């Protein structure tokens, strides 16, 4: 299967702190890959390094075979990599519809934008009911859905989701992960950063476990769900 994203020996320093220590990983076309690990393991920093929001101190990043290591964030986004950041970061003073259109701001294909809007609102029916409502008046769960929907409106080839279930009630968490699977069925490749390791591994084709800036375990999501070390450290399940 073709690799969409390939990271080779990525390093990131924050001053004297070595935050990312030689990470290498791969995301295959049409799959869900996930990064799991404790707070401070380097998951968000990895996503920010891919999009050049943080400066890399070493390594190479390839997207669809092209070296994007030193491209600007704008150039990276224009190639089809979209990051839905932790904490939603929607525009509270714009309506739901205006927020969604901000996702499509760089597109010129009006007919396809209409089609994608309709598909996105089918995925998130609650947003359809609230198109004229200000983003800031939505519940936390609805704002998270809006953040993901806005990301989809830019027609990503790779959708990177940073902690999409953070702070959500269990029922909403289940709904968010069902939507992530639906997005993948439409052919969108997904790189997921998630502290809810159990939910992430259930949907992931492949997973990487990060500890203090290093990949310590990698395997299919299914196999990591059954890995004793992972079950004990990240899933809170006692092993025999």
Find the domain containing 134 and state its range. 87-155
Of 124, 140, 155, which residue sits at a domain end? 155
Does 145 share its domain with 162?
no
pLDDT at 28: 97
pLDDT at 239: 54
pLDDT at 25: 97
Cα 186 from chain centroid (whole Å): 16
Query: What are the φ and ψ backbone dihedral angles of 202, each rounded to 5 degrees?
Result: -65, -35
CA distance 37 to 43: 7
Is 35 within 8 Å of 192 (Cβ atoms)?
yes
Is 210 within 8 Å of 42 (Cβ atoms)?
yes
List the pLDDT tens digit at each of the 240 positions of the chain.
799 999 999 999 999 999 999 999 999 999 999 999 988 899 999 999 999 999 999 999 999 999 999 999 999 999 999 999 987 789 999 999 999 999 998 888 999 999 999 999 999 999 999 999 999 999 999 999 999 999 999 999 999 999 999 888 888 899 999 999 999 999 999 999 998 999 999 999 999 999 999 999 999 999 999 999 899 888 876 555
**Domains of the chain: total:** 2
Residues sharing a CB contact under 8 Å with residue 145, sequence separation 6 or more, in sequence order: 124, 126, 127, 176, 179
**DSSP strand pairing (214-220 vs 158-162):** unpaired
Continuous segment of H or E residues that includes residue 82: strand 81-84
Sequential DSSP letters for 138-171:
S-HHHHHHHHHHHHHTT--SEEEEESTTTT--HH
Does 140 share its domain with 169?
no
Of 139, 155, 171, which residue sits at a domain end? 155
CA distance 98 to 216: 42
CA distance 104 to 96: 13
Given phi > 0 = left and psi -120 to 50 = alpha, else beta, which region is 173?
alpha
Q: Which domain CATH number covers 227? A: 3.40.50.300
SS (HEC) of 179-230: HHHHHHHCCCEEEEECCCHHHHHHHCCEEEEEECCEEEEEEEHHHHHCCHHH
Does 94 share its domain with 47?
no
Does the reported pTM lie above 0.75?
A: yes
Residues sharing a CB contact under 8 Å with residue 61, sequence separation 6 or more, in sequence order: 5, 6, 7, 8, 10, 49, 50, 67, 68, 69
pLDDT at 238: 55
pLDDT at 144: 92
Does 70 share its domain with 109?
no
């Amino acid at each position: 299967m073709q690799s969409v994203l390939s990271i080779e020996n990525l390093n990131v320093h924050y001053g004297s702190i070595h935050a990312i220590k030689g990470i290498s990983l791969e995301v295959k076309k049409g799959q869900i890959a996930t990064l799991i690990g404790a707070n401070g393991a380097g998951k968000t920093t990895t996503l920010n390094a891919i999009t050049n929001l943080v400066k890399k101190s070493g390594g190479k990043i390839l997207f669809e075979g092209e070296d994007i290591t030193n491209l600007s964030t704008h150039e990276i986004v224009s190639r089809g990599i979209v990051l839905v950041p932790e904490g939603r970061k929607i525009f509270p003073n714009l309506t739901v519809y205006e927020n969604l259109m901000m996702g499509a701001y760089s597109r010129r294909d009006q007919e396809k934008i209409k089609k994608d809007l309709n598909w996105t609102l089918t995925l998130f029916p609650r947003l359809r009911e609230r198109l004229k409502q200000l983003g800031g008046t939505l519940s936390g769960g609805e704002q998270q859905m809006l953040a993901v929907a806005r990301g989809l409106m830019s027609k990503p080839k790779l959708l990177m989701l940073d902690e999409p279930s953070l702070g959500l009630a269990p029922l909403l968490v289940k709904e968010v992960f069902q939507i992530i699977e639906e997005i993948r069925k439409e052919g969108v490749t997904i790189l997921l950063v998630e502290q809810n390791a159990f939910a992430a591994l259930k949907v992931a084709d492949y997973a990487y476990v990060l500890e203090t800036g290093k990949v310590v375990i990698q395997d299919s999501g299914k196999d990591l769900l059954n890995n004793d070390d992972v079950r004990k450290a990240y899933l809170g399940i006692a092993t025999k």
